[in-house]
Amino acid sequence: MATATTPVSLDLAAAEAMPEEVNQLQVVTRRFLRHKLAVAALAVLSVVILIAILAPFISPYDPNAIEVGNDFVRPGAMGTDGVRVHYLGTDSLGRDYWARIIFAARISLTVAVTAQLSSSLIGILVGATSGYAGGALDSVLMRVVEFLLTIPQLPLLLIVSSIIIQNQEAIPIPEALTQAIGWLLRIPPRDSVQVILVTGVLVAFGWLGDSRLMRGVVLSLKEQTFTEASKALGTSDLRIILTHMIPNAMAPMIVSASLGLSGFIITEAALSFLGLGIQDPTPTWGNMLAASQGYMFRYPWLPLVAGTPIFLCSLAFNFVGDGVRDALDPRLKL
């Protein structure tokens, strides 16, 4: 005699046969974790950022404290007090290199991240407006962008940075902003003005590529059915741009931002290295590298100490960008 199958057992069997439901975030995370170099790079960046955040607590010295007669000591040497150790030695003025390198990480990374976020925001807004509006507005905006892109960026950055840095007193900056930056980075208000100005120079020329990328994505999105449906329902153009165009175009913009961070780190270091960025005594990786070039043959570890974090962070941001690009590619399989 055959036994009847109960409805409960059928429901359990059907549930086991159904594939596990995953949301978009889980899919992206799984794809990113497959990129081993990207995961390792993210771990390195996390360590660097954590050290930069905790710099005031893990640094045995003030980054600007000078030990007279204790210049160019080798890594691992004792300080003049006989208690603290100069883990990476000291520079030409007897300032602790470890303290300066981790405080420089706060400034260099803050400038790079702020410049990238601001550039992406401007590029997204300009590109989305240009691509969706079309017509004369699109032509004018894109011709301006293309003209600026034809100019060599580094010489233009040097010229503009030189003019701004030399005339920083003439540029009105809210005192509350300088005090907030100074408190965040633990630097004097005068040095926080330099940080703001250098970030502004980087942003002024950093949004151009993002605007062209955003425009290209929006040009394809505005021909989609959901855009036509929104127009038929009487939705305003501004609302369509903010709620449909920009959110659906964020995947390539996130990839572009993650890849662009390394460029901002190198550009800020180049400006400081050439003396047209943030000035000494405020430590950045660029001006520390510039200060060591006159002594690099006698003390070869000095440029390595300042150059290694620039290399590591630039490489790590590139690997993370590659991993994000692969994770957000809809053509990849789970």
3-state secondary structure string across 47-97:
HHHHHHHCHHHHCCCCCCCCCCCCCCCCCCEECCCCCCEECCCECCCCCEH
Does residue 59 form part of some domain? Answer: yes
- Write b or e for each residue in 255-273: b if 16 or more Cβ atoms lie within 10 A of its Cβ, otherwise e: bbbbbbbbbbbbbbbbbbb
Does residue 171 form part of some domain? Answer: yes
Instruction: Tell me the mean pLDDT in the region 69-83.
Output: 81
Render pLDDT for 141-174 as a digit per residue (tens, 0 to 9). Answer: 999 988 888 887 777 777 777 777 777 676 777 8
> Domains in the chain: how many in total?
1
Give the position of tokens 């961070």.
261
Render pLDDT for 2-59 as a digit per residue (tens, 0 to 9). Answer: 445 455 554 545 445 445 566 677 777 888 888 889 999 999 999 999 999 998 888 8
Quote the CA–CA distance of 128 and 222 in Å, as a whole number.
10
Does residue 16 form part of some domain? Answer: no
Does residue 9 form part of some domain? Answer: no
DSSP H or E run through 255: helix 250-273
Find the CATH number of the domain harbouring 253: 1.10.3720.10
Does residue 42 form part of some domain? Answer: yes
Does residue 217 form part of some domain? Answer: yes
Output the CA–CA distances (angstroms, integers) from residue 322 to 39, 45, 46, 253, 327, in the order listed. 11, 15, 17, 13, 9
Quote the CA–CA distance of 331 and 253 in Å, as a whole number.
17
- DSSP label at residue 5: P
Does residue 223 form part of some domain? Answer: yes
Give yes or no for residue 332 having a pLDDT over 60: no
Quote the CA–CA distance of 280 and 17 in Å, as a whole number.
66
Burial of 67 from C-beta contacts in 10 A (0-12 / 13-18 / 19+): middle
pTM reported for the whole predicted model: 0.84
Does residue 137 form part of some domain? Answer: yes
Instruction: Tell me the mean pLDDT in the region 68-83.
Output: 81
Structural domain including 166 reads: 27-327
